[in-house]
Amino acid sequence: MNIQRKNDLMYLVLGLVIFGIVYGLMEGGMIGSFWKLNIIIICINIIMSASLNLINGYTGQFSLGHAGFMAVGCYVSVILTTNFHMPLIVGMLAGGAAAALLGCLIGLPTLRLNGDYLAIATLGLGEIIRIVIMNINYVGGAAGFTGIPHLTTFPWVFFTMLVTLFFIKNFVNSTHGRACIAIRENEIAAGAMGINTTKYKVMAFTIGAAFAGIAGALFAHCFYIINPSSFTFMASFNYLIMVVLGGLGSLTGSVAGAFVVTALSAALASWPEFRMIIYALALILLMFYRPQGLFGYVELTAFKPFRFLDRTKGGRE
């Protein structure tokens, strides 16, 4: 067994231990229903921020429409589970596939745009998706889709999150991921090294959209009713904050970002006016002291006390 495999195994064991502890506490009644739901939301938001990080952080394409893909996954899955009584996994896969398809179709023309223009295009796109859904009566329009079976459980979200993190981790550590990172670093040089930059931008966008769709499916089945207003521009912005706060191009950063933002807003739920102030304050402080985000382009394992978790990097011969 090589070092990489050993490392993966160690992460898996770590994941299982965390799962065991949290699940045990939940089943033992130590975690109330409010925090139980929020832990599930944290896992979903980790899927969202990690997949957005693949687009914004690793590939360097500034996308602001991630909630739109989540909405697609959400609605496709609830139609299948509620109206056609399919199991959750079918809803998740179909939701992810639909979001991926849309991501690919939209990515092809828009990813030719750079920087600010791409941000505006994706922002508009997210809004268009939401408004289209709002005008489809079959899914309840603005009033929302009701009667959704409560299928999302902690094990479902936790293991989907693990799969997502492994997928993205392995992707960015392959030639395909390196191609994406090269585009972020210097698009002209990437092209000169034989990388089809359009192809890899669209690939990152499509994979990111797919996981957002899966996250949307999991999100929908936490509630009895789902409504287009959950997927506004503010929601997309919120995911962006998690990514930036955690650190662009850092997977552990995305996990930390999603955790901090979600837990903080849950903890402050009873004081909504303070929530926004603390939120804004945290961001301003971060801009001042760590503009690169909590982790900024490196993983947790780059820091000394955690180095033992990754033995594949930085080892000289």
Least distance to other proteins, CB of residue 211, Å:
12
Specify whether the CB–CB gap between 292 and 253 falls below 8 A. Answer: no
Query: Residue 4 interacts with other proteins (CB under 8 A)?
Result: yes
d(CA 174, CA 167): 11
Least distance to other proteins, CB of residue 8, Å:
7
- Which parts of 224-283 interact with other proteins (CB under 8 A)? none
Nearer CB in complex with other proteins: 31/179: 179
- Applying CB under 8 A, among 37, 97, 124, 178 the residue interacting with other proteins is 178
Least distance to other proteins, CB of residue 192, Å:
6
d(CA 201, CA 106): 12
- Which parts of 131-170 interact with other proteins (CB under 8 A)? 167, 170
Query: Residue 114 interacts with other proteins (CB under 8 A)?
Result: no
Q: What are phi and psi of 145, to 5 degrees?
A: -100, 125
Least distance to other proteins, CB of residue 44, Å:
21
Binding segment for other proteins (CB under 8 A), chosen from 37-45, 153-161, 176-184, 235-243, is: 176-184
- Applying CB under 8 A, among 83, 146, 174, 229 the residue interacting with other proteins is 174
Binding segment for other proteins (CB under 8 A), chosen from 3-11, 40-48, 61-69, 133-141, is: 3-11
Beta-carbon contacts of 15 under 8 Å, excluding residues fewer than 6 positions away, are 158, 162
Nearer CB in complex with other proteins: 121/182: 182
- Applying CB under 8 A, among 40, 70, 181, 258 the residue interacting with other proteins is 181
- Applying CB under 8 A, among 188, 289, 305, 308 the residue interacting with other proteins is 188
Query: Residue 196 interacts with other proteins (CB under 8 A)?
Result: yes
Query: Residue 8 interacts with other proteins (CB under 8 A)?
Result: yes
Query: Residue 80 interacts with other proteins (CB under 8 A)?
Result: no
- Applying CB under 8 A, among 283, 297, 302, 309 the residue interacting with other proteins is 297
- Applying CB under 8 A, among 193, 234, 276, 287 the residue interacting with other proteins is 193
- Applying CB under 8 A, among 186, 229, 284, 303 the residue interacting with other proteins is 186
Q: What are phi and psi of 225, to 5 degrees?
A: -130, 145
Least distance to other proteins, CB of residue 178, Å:
5
Least distance to other proteins, CB of residue 112, Å:
12
Least distance to other proteins, CB of residue 299, Å:
14
Dihedral in degrees, nearest 10, Cα atoms 303, 300, 259, 25: -90
- Positions in the binding site for other proteins (CB under 8 A): 2, 4-5, 8, 167, 170-171, 174-179, 181-182, 185-186, 188-197, 203, 297, 314, 316-317
